[in-house]
């Protein structure tokens, strides 16, 4: 099963809609400068990422994709992942930690 779900949200995605779609998850927003790299992270909980602005190259385990506004990435607990903002204007992305279930399609 792929971690990447293209154009899951309209562009730009509404933070309120993303938050509503992941009940039981924490919620936050990062604003990263160009070239920002979050490398080799592993968490004890599942994580979602929804790109709001810019372009981010995301690797989840051995799968890599260039993600843009509206794309959803589902990262299972204990899976290595890396994010790199590649757009000159930086990126904005929503994220949260929790446990995926039937309500988080």
pLDDT tens digit string along 45-84?
999 999 999 999 999 999 999 999 999 999 999 999 999 9
- Residue 89 is predicted with a pLDDT of 95
Per-residue pLDDT tens for 27-41?
Answer: 999 999 999 999 999
- Which residues lie across from 83 on neighbouring strands? 38, 58
SS3 48: strand
pLDDT (0 to 100) of residue 102? 65
Order of strands, edge to edge, in the sheet holding 72-75? 4-5, 72-75, 46-53, 91-98, 28-32
- Report the pLDDT value the prediction gives residue 38, as an integer from 0 to 100: 97
Q: pTM of this prediction?
A: 0.94
Look up residue 36 and give its two tokens: 């920002």
Half-sphere exposure of 93 (CA within 13 A, CB side): 28
Task: Classify domain 4-104 at the CATH superfamily level.
Answer: Jelly Rolls (2.60.120.10)
- Is 13 strand, coil or helix? coil
The string of DSSP letters for 14-83 reads: PHHHHHHHSTTS--EEEEE-TT-EEEEE--SSEEEEEEEES-EEEEETTEEEEE-TT-EEEE-TT--EEE
The pLDDT confidence band at residue 95, using thresholds 50, 70 and 90, is very high
For residue 103, the model assigns a pLDDT of 66
Q: What is the pLDDT of residue 101?
A: 85
């Amino acid at each position: 099963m792929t971690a990447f779900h293209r154009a899951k949200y309209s562009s730009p995605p509404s933070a309120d809609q993303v938050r509503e779609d992941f009940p039981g998850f924490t919620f936050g927003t990062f604003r990263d400068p160009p070239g920002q790299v979050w490398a080799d992270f592993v968490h004890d909980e599942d994580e979602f990422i929804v790109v709001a602005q810019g372009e981010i190259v995301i690797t989840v385990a051995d799968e890599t994709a260039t993600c843009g506004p509206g794309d959803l990435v589902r990262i299972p607990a204990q899976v290595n992942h890396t994010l790199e903002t590649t757009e000159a204007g930086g990126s904005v992305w929503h994220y949260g930690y929790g446990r995926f279930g039937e309500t988080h399609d």
